[in-house]
Structure 1
Amino acid sequence: MLEPPPPGSAAQLASGFGQRVLLTVDTEEEFYWDAPFRRDRYGLSHVAAIPRFQRFCEAIGAHPVYLVDWPIVTDQAAVAIIGDAVARGKADVGLQLHPWVNPPFTEDVNDYNSFAGNLPRELEAAKLMALRDAIAEAFGAPALIYRAGRYGLGPHTADLLKTAGIRIDTSVRSLFDYSAKGGPDYSDHPLAPYWADDERTLLELPVTSVHSGLLRHAGRKVQRWGQRIPRAMGAFSKLGLLERIALTPEGVSVDEALRGVDVALEGGLPVLVLSFHSPTLAAGNTRYTPTEAGVEALYHWFEAIYAALDRRGVRTCTVTEILTASTP
């Protein structure tokens, strides 16, 4: 289990940076989320839906960060589409490591090994470097931001990322616990950016999740207690006492997300990190957009959230802007 960072690790962003929003896209293959992991039998048909999403982002002033994994970076169509946006300065590209489809293939394929941080250091390093090099070759420039698939950081990941030249990690999903499946527990990790190393060269930018409700100031304690009792958290949410809100269109309504935005901004969070999975852009790939109507609802979600952020004076930002603002 990864421990929360020690006191004094908080990253102070430049005073003129203000409050910003970063849109991250787990850009990956289509696979059955509820089935055992496999190295084969995945799809990439949703890549054809990315151009519409990119045009939409440019229209609403969003700057997506495509966190691409091995099947995406080895697909010519995906590289051409994303590469065009990156070349025009309208998007960034980063790494997302799905170890079960990323060479070298020496480990058993199972739930535990799907968290890259659980792999032996040498194997995690080999997969990470292979992905880093493939992305640099495909897009003509090194990527500077990383997310572990399934948020699967491990004890060696930070050192490996620094060796790979990565400057930002965005694998931490604050308030979430994946330990039941062998993954990390982020229940007590900060919501705001912090330094993941003593040298302050690797910035952790957690995916944004917040507590809302009457008990939100004691949210972590109440959540730990409530998770021991079946249906407790659902009851807390219905009563307006406590709800955990992730800033994602996947399973989170517009109204819920707007409450989360308000909490994050009122709490002074400098960067709101939105996230979702690219297969959700096309109907039938994930549980979140089973139909075309679901896809349209996803676009409505982003439209509503960005309109609300604009009214609050929250601007979009890029990876480079975050790095510049966080320089110690």
Structure 2
Amino acid sequence: MKSTPVRNGNQHHRFEKACFPKDFGPHFLITVDTEEEFDWAAPFARDAYRLEQFPQLARFQEFCEYENVAPIYLVDWPISHSDEAAEILSPALQAGRAEIGIQLHPWVNPPFEEAVTRYNSFAGNLPAALEQAKLENLIEAIETKLGAKPIIYRAGRYGFGENTIDALTANGVTIDTSIRPHFDYSHDGGPDYRNYPSHPFWLNEDHSLLELPLTSVFWGMLRKQGPVLHPLAERFPLLGGAMSRLALLERIPLTPEGITADEAIRAIDMALDEELPLLVFAFHSSSLLPGSTSYISNERDLEHFYGWWRRIFAYLEQRNVTPCSLSEITDAVLR
């Protein structure tokens, strides 16, 4: 069966909302884009990266275990070939204290048949056969190195394309989490997700591929008009700043990267008001190494990062939002 394309932000109405039992939620997931460190402002390059984050990654895993949360590590090619990564992740996976997934950065993931460009950095822009070949290589590397079969995928740079559904289902992947509602990457050659929902939905008719969108919501008195007004706010920053200061409209993704704990708490409240059964948090593993991204510049920022999570975990507990596993999610929607 040919899958429904996911290229245009206006296509989400063709997808069927995933139904959860009344006694399911609400729950949350922590997804980690587990990737190499590289200069986000520089042109993409096949070998211009480092892998120095692992002591910090081990600390984050220990932190999550103390909090009784099992993060989902979405691993890309350089991480999948790292002995240090395997030493940290494999014991956690075997003990059920973490889960593993896939993240495809095409510019560092063989086979290398495409030019290295910003357009080609979105895997969904590649020819179908090449996107699938890269995905197959990455899955094999993860299974070999980490001893676990990944069932969840996120396209690097959120670059889901019209052939991605077929590539995922052909490789036994049953969950995607590439779609970032209310965000538009078309100016860079990527997808436009401005009109996609935050509620989980099915990506194909036979219910073999479930979408778990990254949670992002509109908050403020004009939130119902968010899909129309927020693009204007992005075009006119003074307008956007005024709407935010006056509590009229904010777009808030659930991430510690650039989002304060107060903002995240407002987003949690809004997501629960919208009766989302699942909150999907995300951040980049490279942020754990101070100075590797703009979000964490020094050790003080890193301590603030952990303080952010402590406060969010406490608030989630207060609101009776509990962590869950991928198997619990799939069991629930297929029940």
TM-score band, normalised by shorter chain: over 0.9
Q: Distance in 2 between matches of 1:250 and 1:12?
A: 30
**Deviation string, structure 1 residues 30-68 (Cα, Å, up to 9, x no partner):** 000011001012111011211110111111222100000
Q: Distance in 2 between matches of 1:287 and 1:8?
A: 36
Equivalent position to 1:77, from 84, 90, 110: 84
Q: Which residue of structure 2 aligns with residue 43 of structure 1? A: 50
- Figure out how many residues of one structure are paired with residues of the other and give that number: 328
**Is residue 2 from structure 1 mapped to residue 24 from structure 2 by the alignment?**
no
Partner AA of 1:130 in structure 2 = N
Equivalent position to 1:279, from 258, 272, 286: 286
Q: Distance in 1 between matches of 2:192 and 2:180?
A: 9
Preserved CA contact (<8 Å) 1:5 1:196: no
Partner-residue secondary structure (3-state), 1:35: coil
Q: Distance in 1 between matches of 2:179 and 2:209?
A: 13
* CA RMSD, Structure 1 to Structure 2 (Å): 1.1
Q: Which residue of structure 2 aligns with residue 153 of structure 1? A: 160
Q: Distance in 1 between matches of 2:212 and 2:238?
A: 31
Equivalent position to 2:206, from 185, 195, 199: 199
Partner-residue secondary structure (3-state), 1:103: coil
Preserved CA contact (<8 Å) 1:30 1:279: yes
Q: Distance in 2 between matches of 1:60 and 1:107?
A: 43
Change (3 A) 1:8 1:74: closer
Partner-residue secondary structure (3-state), 2:12: coil
Identity of aligned residues (%): 49
Q: Distance in 2 between matches of 1:305 and 1:263?
A: 14
Q: What is the CA distance between 1:224 and its match in structure 2?
A: 3.0
Partner AA of 2:139 in structure 1 = R
Q: Distance in 1 between matches of 2:232 and 2:40?
A: 28
Equivalent position to 1:101, from 94, 103, 108: 108
Q: Normalising by the residue count of structure 2, what TM-score does the alignment of the two structures yield?
A: 0.96
Q: Distance in 2 between matches of 1:80 and 1:316?
A: 24
Q: What is the CA distance between 1:227 and its match in structure 2?
A: 3.2
**Is residue 263 from structure 1 mapped to residue 270 from structure 2 by the alignment?**
yes
Preserved CA contact (<8 Å) 2:15 2:204: no
Equivalent position to 1:135, from 110, 131, 142: 142
Q: Which residue of structure 1 aligns with residue 249 of structure 2? A: 242
Q: Distance in 1 between matches of 2:283 and 2:41?
A: 17
Q: What is the CA distance between 1:9 and its match in structure 2?
A: 0.6
Q: What is the CA distance between 1:8 and its match in structure 2?
A: 5.9
Partner AA of 2:91 in structure 1 = D
Preserved CA contact (<8 Å) 1:208 1:274: yes
Q: Distance in 1 between matches of 2:31 and 2:313?
A: 14
Q: Distance in 2 between matches of 1:159 and 1:176?
A: 24
What are the ranges of 5 or more consecutive residues in structure 2 without an aligned counterpart?
1-6
What are the ranges of 5 or more consecutive residues in structure 1 without an aligned counterpart?
none
**Is residue 208 from structure 1 mapped to residue 210 from structure 2 by the alignment?**
no
